[in-house]
Amino acid sequence: MKPEMLPAPTPSAEAHWVEGELVRSLMRTQRDTQWVGLLLMAVIVGVLWGDASPPLLAAWVLLGAAAAGWRYWILRRYEREVVHQGSDEHLAFLRRYQLAFPLSALVWGLTTLLYFDRSSLADQFICWLMMAGLAMYSVNGLSSQLPTLRAYLDTLAVTALAVLAWRMGVELRLQGPAYHWWLVVLLLVFWQVLRHAGLRLHETYRRNFELQFRNAQLIESLTRQTQAALDAVEIKNRFLASAAHDIRQPVHALGLYADWLGTEPELVHELAPKIVESTKAVNQLFDSLFDLARLDSGKIRLNIEPVDVAKLLRDLELQYRPLCEARGLQFRVRVRPGTAVTDPILLQRILGNLISNAVKYTQQGGILLAARTTREGLRVEIWDTGVGIAPVHQREIFREFYKVPSHPGTEDGFGLGLYIVGRLTHILGHPLSLQSRVGRGTVFRLALHPTDPAAAADRAVASIAQLVSRP
């Protein structure tokens, strides 16, 4: 059986998963970012303590603390409610709280009100250096989500530039020192460099997650193919066990005929035709086994045609009567003329397995193979006087490899005979029923309803799908 190939993932499914993982990566960096921000706030306050206006500095600290508190609350909610959820929940969470990032950038951009052209050049240098470091750190922490990173950098740069423009144009009326203009140029260049670096890092993140998604798909596909290969091996194993089960009986019959011929050579003219017929039966069983192998691989073609039931029962009598007589059992056949529309080889396989089971579990008495005409059509019955089947086991006996506990003879079988019968009767549309009494015997009744070729083919395909999907 060819392994079932996993369908290629749709681009939208891959993109959706990748977007969710980018949000997850973004949120993983926020706890560290939180502590870095608080540390820098403390450094800013220490550097500007004697230079900045105390009310202005206090207002900035309160605003920064409020922004940090909000981000901390968002992070806690994420860890409680979203961290183990899927892509949809992560994307929805980011959409709900995405303003927290540009708000933090706004707070840090407003620090320029505290020090730009209001403190010593040394203190200004330290503050500008901390702001540059914060901006670079944000590239590393936020670049997994490019819109979030750009919103942060744009808000930070625009706020700082707005403060510079106000100080230079409104308060100083463009009469300030020349280094102000160089500072504006450096800020613009640095802003664009960070945006470009963020884009490159974001592309790296995205490619990594896309690779993870495709690797996961590949692993799943390989797992499915491996399981399909194991299923195919299991089917072959069942076929080999089935072959050993079904060939034993006709070969045994041939052995008995050969023994009789060796001890009573004068019966050669009587036994030779039976040996020929038994050999044909073996060949037919080989054909049926190979048909079952094709059935298990989904490649069998059912041969539905009118079958002479009387002739089929006589052929089965030729095959199984020597086995019964060798065990001291009677084998009787009651034949009524009639035809059934079915697959002749598979029908012979069904009846052969039922007779074989009857012989195996009957110690005294005999077997009756009978065809009867009912209002619903022709019916074949197999009666035995064997050990019987308790009600608790009557459904289980049609399971693969199931053997009734404590039944004599089960150690010689594979538990396949009735399993095969159950599958084939279902495919052919021949209802099978049984009645049994422990210690008294069993009767199987097979109703030979006409087989519809199309419906039988559909049932065969469904049977294979169910067989391969089993754990």
Q: Which amino acid is at 437?
A: R
Under 8 Å between Cβ of 358 and 251: no
Which range is least confidently modeled, 7-11, 28-32, 339-343? Answer: 7-11
Asked if the structure places residue 231 within a domain, the reply is no
pLDDT of 464 reads 61
Strand partners for 137: none
Residues 86, 148, single domain; the answer is yes
Considering 223, 253, 281, which residue would you say is the last residue of a domain?
223
How large is the average pLDDT for residues 81-105? 90
Residues 152, 276, single domain; the answer is no
Asked if the structure places residue 117 within a domain, the reply is yes
| Exposed e or buried b per residue across 151-173, where buried means at least 16 C-beta atoms within 10 angstroms of its C-beta | bbbebbbebbbebbeebbeeeee
- Spatial distance between the Cα atoms of 141 and 22, rounded to a whole number of angstroms: 11
Residues 219, 323, single domain; the answer is no
Reported as a single tens digit per residue, the pLDDT across 44-85 is 888 888 888 888 889 999 998 999 899 889 999 999 999 888
Residues 193, 90, single domain; the answer is yes
Residues 214, 315, single domain; the answer is no
Which range is least confidently modeled, 269-273, 293-297, 349-353, 433-437? Answer: 293-297
Residues 302, 382, single domain; the answer is yes
Which range is least confidently modeled, 35-49, 77-91, 98-112, 383-397? Answer: 383-397
pLDDT score of 295 more than 90: no
- Spatial distance between the Cα atoms of 72 and 80, rounded to a whole number of angstroms: 12
Asked if the structure places residue 375 within a domain, the reply is yes
**CB-count exposure of residue 328 (10 Å: 0-12, 13-18, 19+):** exposed
How large is the average pLDDT for residues 208-212? 90
| Most confident among 30-34, 144-148, 457-461 (mean pLDDT) | 144-148
Nearest by Cα to 380 from 334, 321, 319, 311: 334
Query: Which residues, 6+ apart, have CB-to-CB distance to 110 below 8 Å?
Result: 60, 63, 159, 163
Reported as a single tens digit per residue, the pLDDT across 348-383 is 888 988 998 888 888 899 999 999 988 888 999 999
Q: Which amino acid is at 468?
A: V
Which range is least confidently modeled, 46-55, 77-86, 242-251, 422-431? Answer: 242-251
How large is the average pLDDT for residues 426-454? 90
Residues 202, 271, single domain; the answer is no
Reported as a single tens digit per residue, the pLDDT across 128-167 is 999 998 899 888 889 999 999 999 999 999 999 999 999 8
Query: Which residues, 6+ apart, have CB-to-CB distance to 34 below 8 Å?
Result: 68, 71, 72, 75
Asked if the structure places residue 5 within a domain, the reply is no
- Higher local confidence (pLDDT), 241 or 17: 17
CB half-sphere exposure, 415, CA atoms < 13 A: 13
Asked if the structure places residue 304 within a domain, the reply is yes
Q: How many domains does the chain have?
A: 2
List the structure tokens of 208. 């990594």
Considering 223, 251, 273, which residue would you say is the last residue of a domain?
223
How large is the average pLDDT for residues 404-414? 50
pLDDT of 377 reads 87
Task: Please report which residue ranges of 52-171 form alpha helices under DSSP H.
Answer: 54-81, 87-97, 100-109, 112-115, 121-142, 146-165
What residue has token string 């195996």? 360
Asked if the structure places residue 250 within a domain, the reply is no
| Most confident among 198-207, 345-354, 392-401 (mean pLDDT) | 198-207
Range of the structural domain that residue 98 is part of: 11-223
Asked if the structure places residue 292 within a domain, the reply is yes
pLDDT score of 411 more than 50: no
- Higher local confidence (pLDDT), 206 or 418: 206
CATH of the domain at 338: 3.30.565.10
pLDDT score of 343 more than 80: yes
- Dihedral sign from CA coordinates of 398, 401, 402, 404: positive
Residues 199, 83, single domain; the answer is yes
pLDDT of 412 reads 46
Residues 39, 99, single domain; the answer is yes
Residue 461: pLDDT band (50, 70, 90) is confident
Residues 29, 124, single domain; the answer is yes
pLDDT of 33 reads 82
Residue 443: pLDDT band (50, 70, 90) is very high
Residues 270, 131, single domain; the answer is no
Residues 194, 301, single domain; the answer is no
Q: Which amino acid is at 174?
A: L
Under 8 Å between Cβ of 422 and 431: no
How large is the average pLDDT for residues 172-192? 90
pLDDT of 382 reads 93
- Higher local confidence (pLDDT), 8 or 204: 204
Asked if the structure places residue 161 within a domain, the reply is yes
pLDDT of 419 reads 76
What mean pLDDT, rounded, does the chain reach?
82
Considering 191, 208, 223, which residue would you say is the last residue of a domain?
223
